[in-house]
Structure 1
Amino acid sequence: MSDQRLHCINCGIASWRRNPSIGLHQIEEESILSVIQQWVAPQVVNRSHHICQGCRDLAMRPSGADEQLSIPTTGHCQVCVNCGRSVLRARSHLLRTDIERERRIHTVISEWILPRTISRARALICHSCWVRADRNAHHYLARPSGSSGSVNVTSGHGELTPQCPPPPRPTSQASQATSQFTPRVSDSIILPDYVRAVDTESQCFIEGCRRQERNRVPVTIRKMLLDHYKFYIPKNNRLCDHHLKIQSWDFLTGILENYINVFTALHIQDMLELKSHSNTGLNFIDIQNMEDHLVHHWLGFTKEQYQRILNEVPQLLLKSSGPIGLTAYLMKLRTSDSNERISALFNIPKRTLDGYVSEARHLMYDYFVPRHLGLNHMNRQEIVDRTLLIPQGLFGNHNGVNKPVIIIDGTYCFIEKSSNYLYQKRTYSLHKYNNLVKPFMIVCADGHIVDVMGPYPATTSDAEIINHEFRDPNSILRQYFQAGDAFVLDRGFRDALPLLHECGYRTYVPPTLQEGEWQHSTLEANKSRAVTIYQMGC
């Protein structure tokens, strides 16, 4: 979680970073609140704001005359207006608007500290913030959603009024005419019913979020927030992974008052374009027009991967219902939703969707699966080429010839408890205390799945499965794998090792402690590690 950035509402010093002993206090006394309100006017101050101990002591001092209360006084004078760091002994810069570069930095800092304002005559920023603002000033001028002016709070009712923004960059013909800064009429406007996020690309636009990811905000999310919450997100703002995948935005209703309602002409233009944007949303009939993150969220594939599946199974394109059935089938594999829920998303009857999904499943099994699964989809040399450097050096070389190196192991697919007693008995595992079936995996050294056999009942051991598959000399596995091939196994295949050695295969199994032994020898431990590091890596 990020640090809570508490700034003194009067002098701006912060209690985070390197000055935790500043001693910020909430404004609870009415007398202190009235004094602070006069000092920072026209900025709005309430009891939720904080003041440092120095400003608190100054506000509590006895006043001899009423006119003394109207003189703004700060407990700390040498403070960076952006980060709140004390610059008493650090390099700092004075915020000015004399030349265009300084005006651009002034504009960037004004946008960063919203809803706070630059109200002091001698406003300072530390060198780090000055460098960041100078670097980002060019982005604020170049991007279409950049703010063209700074914002000041001017009324006690929380309304914001804009300052005159800096003039545009002078051209070569008008360089002399713009040598002196002359304010022009502001192109900012206050929309009392709408708010916007601070215009920044450095972090997630949600207030208080300090996650490191910076994803572009999808158009669908920007339009939804504008339509339902009247919350405008500038075009180049960023969003973290957590808020990108969030399902409900109702939490915004409690924090929208912390955002600003001053908009530039570019903001208004972008808002109108968002309003006119056709919200495709979850249009599963037309995947290509959906947002990329929505496609991956519902299907588990990108648009390019989805199109590749369609291209490899052209039979799906020959039917008008083929792409719809494939989309529904992938969605069912991804979400495990019922056909009733999926049919509601597609806005088609459930019985029709059942036929689409069944047809897509059969076409995928007949045309797509043989291309990517099974012993026939790759030859032995391809398995050798997929062997990584370490397993090739440990197990691959046999009499000077590189042989295939594969991992064989069983895995688990948990299922629901069956009402059929015999099936329930065969699928209940005393090892996992659950109902499951066991697919049997044959995997290359780089993790590529060569084939999946089974599934087998939960009561069948790994050794029994491999004895069943390799006992027949005419079996497809005996014909595919040749003498000298390397099999990396675990200790559960101990009873199948004699058969594999009889077939001429080389087996690598972690050694087992013999009776009376407490630990492996150094040689046996190294051999065990050579096998397990390869198994865990895949």
Structure 2
Amino acid sequence: MFLIFVKQKEMKAYDCIVCRKRVNPRDRRPVPKASKKIVSKLICRQVTSDDQICSKCRLKALRSKKQATTSSGDDQDKQTVTVKETLKSPQNIQLNIKSTPRNNKRCVICKKSKNLTRVGSTAISQAFIDKGVYINSQSRCCREHMQRSYFTTDALTKLSATKKSEFFSRTDITALMNGIRDNVKAKGHMDFDNPAALSTEEYTNITGLSKDQFHDLAGQLTSSVRNNSNRSSRTCLAIFMAKMKTGLPNAILGTIFNLNTAQVQRIIPRVRQCLMETLVPTHLGFGHLAHNDFIEKHTTPIAKELFTTGKEAVLVLDGTYLYIQKSMDYKFQRMSYSLHKNRPLVKPMMVVGTDGYILSVLGPYLADYGNNDASITKHVLNHNLEEIRTWLKKDDVFIVDRGFRDAVEYLEKIGLKVEMPAYLAKGKKQHTTEESNLSRLVTKVNC
């Protein structure tokens, strides 16, 4: 008995170099030569002749080697992922991170042992970000603590750590970092550089454009707005569109987009200037669309039937309002104040096709008494803004309202036709049949 005791005491204990578990004599094997490189990468050192590996890890290493050798060169990144998923590195890195117990038979929240489900990577990242507690990937929790793939608020409140430090493997650290990265990406608001970070609805709420529309518009700014370490051209466009849609102060926009107020103040006029140089000339103004193309594409059949012989353009003119804040410049404040609307505004003149297509926007003009619809129309034609006189042809039709009455004679003198609802003559209480029908025709085209 004494000899047997001495012999057992002198026997050397072997641990698997991969999983660090105690290995029985019949289960331990030397590391296969074909898998030494893979195992060396996992344990971060060279494999020696004294190292032993358990049968389970040995089979995983051989399978990983076989997959790596049978795959093509183009799938090299995929090989690495497969190897790491198949064979985990040893847990030999101790970090001062609070963690829950390594137990897959009880819930990590309430310690119950029934109706359990595995804690996914999303919930692990959530717990680490919100509570600073690491949960092992083999842990379980009650189904009632999970909402979709996340912990509920109540579950996070009850979650507590029992250990002040934890042993990690390279695989665990990589999985934790990837989980945090995915979690941040999912919550990454205002990230316009990554098309997957925001939904189409969020694009519309912030910029007023759908995701595809924003992408097309951003493509026209890449050559004129340079990217730098602080912001990209897409971020600049998003700031400008958010400013136009919401009217938020620059300081708030800077907070939302993680920029300072001075940067936002420089970005907005720069983007506006670039859009005026690249986008506007190709989509707005009399120069972007030929006269014949406008007739064919943007004149409705009813307008052609009622007012033209098929060769004349039918344009709908009307002044609109853009409300502005009260200016600190007293002179401009007086010139931009509208007695009609009782607030400051400017007046752009809209030139639209009968199908609603905006051909051009002229102006804007000030809101004082000298800038009514008739005077604005005369100014546009007298100064030939956007080469309008060159674009227009003889007998082209202007559809206008009664605010253009003082410009009707002028327009007819330069060879244009004017269609306007009839005025009720002085002393009369009712339009004639002909006047009523003419007004109805104008109204029909405007609708």
TM-score by length of 1: 0.48
| Counterpart-to-counterpart distance in 1, 2:255 and 2:375 | 46
1:430 matches 2:328? no
2:378 aligns with 467
Q: 2:193 aligns with which of 283, 286, 297?
A: 286
1:395 matches 2:307? yes
The 5 A counterparts of 1:56-67 are none
Question: Could you list the per-position Cα deviations for residues 500-520 of structure 1 after superposition, in whole angstroms to 9, with x for gaps in the alignment?
Answer: 010110110000100111122
2:131 aligns with none
**Residues 453 and 447 of structure 1, relative CA distance in 2, 3 Å threshold:** same
Q: CA deviation at 1:281?
A: 3.5
2:204 aligns with 296
Q: 1:319 aligns with which of 227, 239, 263?
A: 227
In structure 1, the gaps of 5 or more residues are 1-160, 163-188, 197-221, 232-272
Question: Could you list the per-position Cα deviations for residues 456-509 of structure 1 after superposition, in whole angstroms to 9, with x for gaps in the alignment?
Answer: 111211111112222357982222212110100110111111110101101100
The 5 A counterparts of 1:34-433 are 191-193=143-145, 228=153, 277=183, 278-289=185-196, 290-316=198-224, 318-320=226-228, 321-385=232-296, 386-397=298-309, 401-433=310-342
Q: Letter of the aligned partner of 2:359 in structure 1? A: V
**Residues 474 and 370 of structure 1, relative CA distance in 2, 3 Å threshold:** closer
How large is the Cα RMSD of the aligned pairs?
2.9
Q: Letter of the aligned partner of 1:436 in structure 2? A: L
Q: 2:406 aligns with which of 486, 495, 501?
A: 495
| Counterpart-to-counterpart distance in 2, 1:288 and 1:307 | 9
| Counterpart-to-counterpart distance in 2, 1:475 and 1:516 | 43
| Counterpart-to-counterpart distance in 2, 1:442 and 1:295 | 29
| Counterpart-to-counterpart distance in 1, 2:427 and 2:293 | 44
1:524 aligns with 435
| Counterpart-to-counterpart distance in 1, 2:259 and 2:442 | 52
Q: Is the 8 A contact 1:310 1:316 kept in 2?
A: no
| Counterpart-to-counterpart distance in 2, 1:475 and 1:497 | 21
**Residues 276 and 464 of structure 1, relative CA distance in 2, 3 Å threshold:** closer
1:74 aligns with none
Question: Could you list the per-position Cα deviations for residues 402-443 of structure 1 after superposition, in whole angstroms to 9, with x for gaps in the alignment?
Answer: 211111111001112223332222212121121111111111
Q: CA deviation at 1:449?
A: 1.2
1:511 matches 2:422? yes
**Residues 363 and 276 of structure 1, relative CA distance in 2, 3 Å threshold:** closer
1:484 matches 2:395? yes
Question: Could you list the per-position Cα deviations for residues 215-260 of structure 1 after superposition, in whole angstroms to 9, with x for gaps in the alignment?
Answer: xxxxxxx778x655779xxxxxxxxxxxxxxxxxxxxxxxxxxxxx
Q: CA deviation at 1:316?
A: 4.3
Q: CA deviation at 1:317?
A: 6.4
**Residues 405 and 468 of structure 1, relative CA distance in 2, 3 Å threshold:** same
Q: Is the 8 A contact 2:221 2:233 kept in 1?
A: no
Count of matched residue positions in the alignment of Structure 1 and Structure 2: 279
Q: Letter of the aligned partner of 1:284 in structure 2? A: D
Q: Is the 8 A contact 1:287 1:295 kept in 2?
A: no
Q: CA deviation at 1:327?
A: 1.4
3-state SS, counterpart of residue 288 of structure 1:
coil
| Counterpart-to-counterpart distance in 1, 2:348 and 2:317 | 11
Structure with the greater alpha carbon radius of gyration: 2
Q: Letter of the aligned partner of 1:439 in structure 2? A: P
Select the structure with the greater relative contact order (CA < 8 A; seq sep ≥ 6).
Answer: 2
Which structure is higher in helix share? 2
1:533 aligns with 444
Question: Could you list the per-position Cα deviations for residues 341-360 of structure 1 after superposition, in whole angstroms to 9, with x for gaps in the alignment?
Answer: 11111112222232233322
Q: Letter of the aligned partner of 1:294 in structure 2? A: E
Q: Letter of the aligned partner of 1:319 in structure 2? A: N
Q: CA deviation at 1:315?
A: 1.3
Q: Letter of the aligned partner of 1:447 in structure 2? A: G
**Residues 354 and 471 of structure 1, relative CA distance in 2, 3 Å threshold:** closer
Question: Could you list the per-position Cα deviations for residues 9-40 of structure 1 after superposition, in whole angstroms to 9, with x for gaps in the alignment?
Answer: xxxxxxxxxxxxxxxxxxxxxxxxxxxxxxxx
Q: Is the 8 A contact 1:315 1:363 kept in 2?
A: no
**Residues 283 and 468 of structure 1, relative CA distance in 2, 3 Å threshold:** closer
2:94 aligns with none
| Counterpart-to-counterpart distance in 1, 2:383 and 2:404 | 18
Question: Could you list the per-position Cα deviations for residues 86-123 of structure 1 after superposition, in whole angstroms to 9, with x for gaps in the alignment?
Answer: xxxxxxxxxxxxxxxxxxxxxxxxxxxxxxxxxxxxxx
**Residues 489 and 228 of structure 1, relative CA distance in 2, 3 Å threshold:** farther
| Counterpart-to-counterpart distance in 2, 1:362 and 1:287 | 25
| Counterpart-to-counterpart distance in 1, 2:259 and 2:250 | 11
**Residues 281 and 227 of structure 1, relative CA distance in 2, 3 Å threshold:** farther
1:82 aligns with none
Q: Is the 8 A contact 1:223 1:275 kept in 2?
A: no
| Counterpart-to-counterpart distance in 2, 1:377 and 1:326 | 23
1:447 matches 2:356? yes
Q: Letter of the aligned partner of 1:453 in structure 2? A: L
Q: Is the 8 A contact 1:488 1:508 kept in 2?
A: yes
Q: Letter of the aligned partner of 2:193 in structure 1? A: D
3-state SS, counterpart of residue 186 of structure 2:
coil
Q: Is the 8 A contact 2:281 2:288 kept in 1?
A: yes
Q: Is the 8 A contact 1:411 1:438 kept in 2?
A: yes
In structure 2, the gaps of 5 or more residues are 1-113, 116-140, 157-178
3-state SS, counterpart of residue 309 of structure 1:
helix
